[in-house]
Amino acid sequence: MIDLLLAFADERPLARRLAAAAGLPLRLVERHAFPDGETRLRLPPALPPRVALLRGLQRPNERLAELLIAAPAARELGAQRLLLVCPYLGYMRQDMAFRPGEAVSQRHVGAALAQWFDAVLTVDPHLHRVASMDEVVPGRRSVALSAAPLLGALAARRARRPILLGPDAEAEPWVRAAAQAQQLEHATCRKQRRGDRQVSVALPPLDYAGRDVVLVDDVASTGRTLVATARALYARGAAAVDVAVTHALFVGDAGPVLARAGIRRVWSSDTVPHPSNAVSVAPLLAAALRDL
């Protein structure tokens, strides 16, 4: 059982929802950024034995540095068991070395988390060639939840007889999970990536004419894959294209680019704070905290 939820102020909305759902007291980490780029953290001066720390790893470089400082500080202040609640777990894409000398970021970040925390709880991590979170965070209890069923239920309510479509083969587990509970038609595309912002997409052979299509994925970053898929769908007669993603990173000009491509609506979970947040993972996280 967890005694306290500790969170950073910039994730206060999700922290409040999670604390309420789990019946936990909430305390905040004070954060001060110095002009030279360093950060000072101030935790509550006395912590109970079992603490859950909420911190997502969007903008992962600065936030990993914060965890490097916050985890041992929490133990010095009384936390004997420290659990990381990481709604978005960054650095999961690089799970193998594609060229000699490349660092396998997933392996090294996971090993660091295993040193700092006794358990890790996350949502829809991007595990492509890895079977489970146990391989990512070695020797620690780790749990991966999914927001896909929540997004599938939302799509079923807000779109008219939708087809759920994954923009690439890697999205197939999310599309299937989102579609199954609602018994929605679903499929995945075939993607070819030529660069970080250059992609082409081949649609599966379905009848899209006059249909609403919801693109479902775990994470949206630049939005270029979603744009390429939406344009292909409109060329095949789709009535409307919406997007449902767990993690709404949407870096740079992704929002305007999606709008120009004719994407009607974007829905996301609140794992990453964004104006598109439409469903909350707080109940999922709270249930998992009780189990842990």
Domains of the chain, first to last: 4-146+280-291 (3.40.50.2020), 148-270 (3.40.50.2020)
Q: Closest Cα partner for 84 from 199, 2, 195?
A: 2
The predicted pLDDT at position 130 comes to: 77
pLDDT, residue 29, reads 97
Between CA 71 and CA 120 the distance in angstroms is 13
Q: Which two tokens stand for residue 137?
A: 């965070």
- Report the mean per-residue pLDDT for the chain: 93
Identify the H or E element spanning 157. Answer: helix 148-158
**What pLDDT shows up at residue 196?**
52
Q: Give the pLDDT score at 249.
A: 95
Residue type, 142: S
CA quadruple 146, 149, 154, 156: dihedral sign: positive
Query: What's the pLDDT tens digit per position in 160-200?
Result: 889 999 988 888 888 999 999 899 999 999 876 655 556 67
C-alpha torsion 201→247→254→13, nearest 10: 160
3-state secondary structure at position 282: helix
Distance from C-alpha of 202 to C-alpha of 265, rounded to nearest angstrom: 22
pLDDT, position 197: 53
Specify the DSSP class assigned to residue 226.
H
Question: What is the per-residue pLDDT for 161?
Answer: 87
pLDDT digits (tens, 9 = 90+) for 2-54: 999 999 999 999 999 999 999 999 999 999 999 999 999 999 999 999 999 99
Which element (helix H / strand E) includes 63? Answer: helix 60-76
- Mean pLDDT of the 283-290 span: 96
pTM for the whole thing? 0.92
User: Within 13 A of 144's CA, how many CA atoms are on the CB side?
Assistant: 19
The region of weakest confidence among 6-15, 165-174, 207-216, 243-252 is 165-174
- Using pLDDT thresholds of 50, 70 and 90, give the confidence band for residue 210: very high
Does residue 191 have an active-site annotation? Answer: yes
Percent of the chain residues topping a pLDDT of 70: 97
133 within 8 A of 185, measured Cβ to Cβ = no
Query: Which of the following is catalytic: 107, 191, 211, 247?
Result: 191
Q: What is the mean pLDDT of residues 219-230?
A: 90
Q: What's the pLDDT at 190? A: 85
What is each CA distance from 194 to 169, 204, 239, 271, in whole angstroms?
16, 20, 29, 29
Sign of CA dihedral 231, 236, 239, 244: negative
Distance CA 247, CA 123 (A): 9
User: Which tokens in the block code for residue 81?
Assistant: 């068991």
Q: Which of 159, 157, 161, 53 is nearest to 113 (CA)?
A: 53
